Structure 1
Amino acid sequence: MKSRLNNPVLAKEVKLRFRSSKSFTGVLLYLLAMCIFVFGFIYITTSLAGTIYFKPSESVILFSFLTFIQLGLVLFITPGLTAGTISGERERQTLPMLLTTSQSSFQIVTGKLLSSVLFLVLLIIAGLPVYSMVFLFGGISPVLFLKSLLFLIVTLLAIGSLGVLFSTLFRRTTVSMIATYGSMLFFTAVIPFLFLIIIQVNQFGTMGITPPKSYIGHFLASINPEIFFASLLGAEIGMGIQEMTQVTFPLWIGYLLFYGMVTIVSIWIATKRLRVNIKKHK
């Protein structure tokens, strides 16, 4: 049992990644940027209001900004960290050596995935003291804070697993990176556009009459990170989506189920295809 939990690939990748000073320099710069943004926001807000105190309503706005900054960090940096995990080994011609070890394909895939996303997890955890400063001014509950952190990690694992999947399927890192960023843009840009179209078509010609239920529209809203996090931060947004789609199914359940399935299926396919591609191109 202990040998199954032990993952030498993960241990090696973590040591190599955090042995360099660049990782800690990146954490330092990220924290400096977070501090500048938080204290700058507080200074500008109090200066414009002509007061010396920070209101709870303004604290909610600051928390929302920080959450979407964290979400943008996850969405745009994760593909760059994971899209070259397997294809990079293949390009350096070190993948056949890795496959001759006693490590299973699942251990290799999960080790590469976790070692890549751990840096972003470190950034999120390192920023928690700055991120939690909003509690000093009120307006934010610890439950909302924990929910935001949980769904950030769920999103991080899903996008990261897609990066590892494409890195396994494609031989070139450039192609896998394009596919990963394309998938991320589809979820973040194309899906909200389709959601608006479906809602407009669904409400066309109703003229005050309650529109029919739109399960497709509700599904698209639940799997879009921006719409979901907006509904998480503001209950009125979630209620508005339920009114537009006439579906009362909680968005957070759909989000967890969908991205949980994306993570599981991506890891499963990557595990199955890892050694197949090697045999095919011998």
Structure 2
Amino acid sequence: MSVACLALTATTAHAANKPVIAFTWDDLPAHAALPPGVTRAQIATDLLKASAAAKAPAFGFINGVHTQREPGSDVVLRLWREAGQPLGNHTWSHPNIIDLTPEQFTAEIAQNEPMLKDLMGDKDWRWLRYPFLSEGDTPEKRLAVRGWLAANHYRIASVTMSFGDYAFNDPYARCVAKGDEAAIADLEKRFLDGAAAVADRSRAMSKTLYGKDIPYVLLMHGGAFDARMAPRLFKLYQDKGFGFTTLDKAEKHPFYKTDVNPGLAPEPTTLEDALKAKGLPVSPFPVDLKALESICR
């Protein structure tokens, strides 16, 4: 084999072993407070621009109720589709399944469907992201909803990486309103440090379970601070050796099999729960989200 062929083989093997992340963006089209001077359309434009620059697919999950609460915010969903990025179901109004019957919860999913059909056309939109990542407070409720999802050809969008980005958006809006640049710089550092620490934690959990990386599904939110930080966040992951992939490709890994097919008997679908099921320790969550509540008050 020639030196060139050897080099190509080595490069291909390295690429195949590169850890990958599927970015998913919840609560479209209107997540959290808006800082003064920022629009929902600008947030979406900035997120999509950063995603395109990083060559990172951006799967969005919608709550249709936002288009009623914030008239005009539906432009975000049109921008998402014009950029060629997919949308899925996050329920109509983001309820916690714990507070509903299975029938009420599946009605929330169904209420979102006409909007998704209109936006996605013949593309696949039958993915559900559970609000609050909660599947219910009883095994019976969990199985009832999963049965409905299986009968209606849904897949569940799991989460195997999340650093609590949602908690940064409201403090950022307050800090912009106050003009507190030092506090904003502090938020930026906390955000990037948290993303890095959680990436390391997720990789460590995966390697404990599998001896290697699985494809990770990252939970993000379509907020103003997320949009501000997106270019730096993508670079952080790239600098840590990650590539980016689609939700569909990520969830082809066996870890996600009971979410890809909700009709199967459910198994743990977070890395933390998978470790607990094996009686293995779970390291503490490394981001102090509580501290963000008092910033710029």
* Fold in common (TM above 0.5): no
Which has the larger strand fraction? Answer: 2
Which has the larger helix fraction? Answer: 1
Higher RCO (CA 8 Å, separation ≥ 6 residues):
2
Question: Normalising to structure 2: TM-score of the pair?
Answer: 0.30
Bigger radius of gyration, 1 or 2?
Answer: 1
Question: Normalising to structure 1: TM-score of the pair?
Answer: 0.31
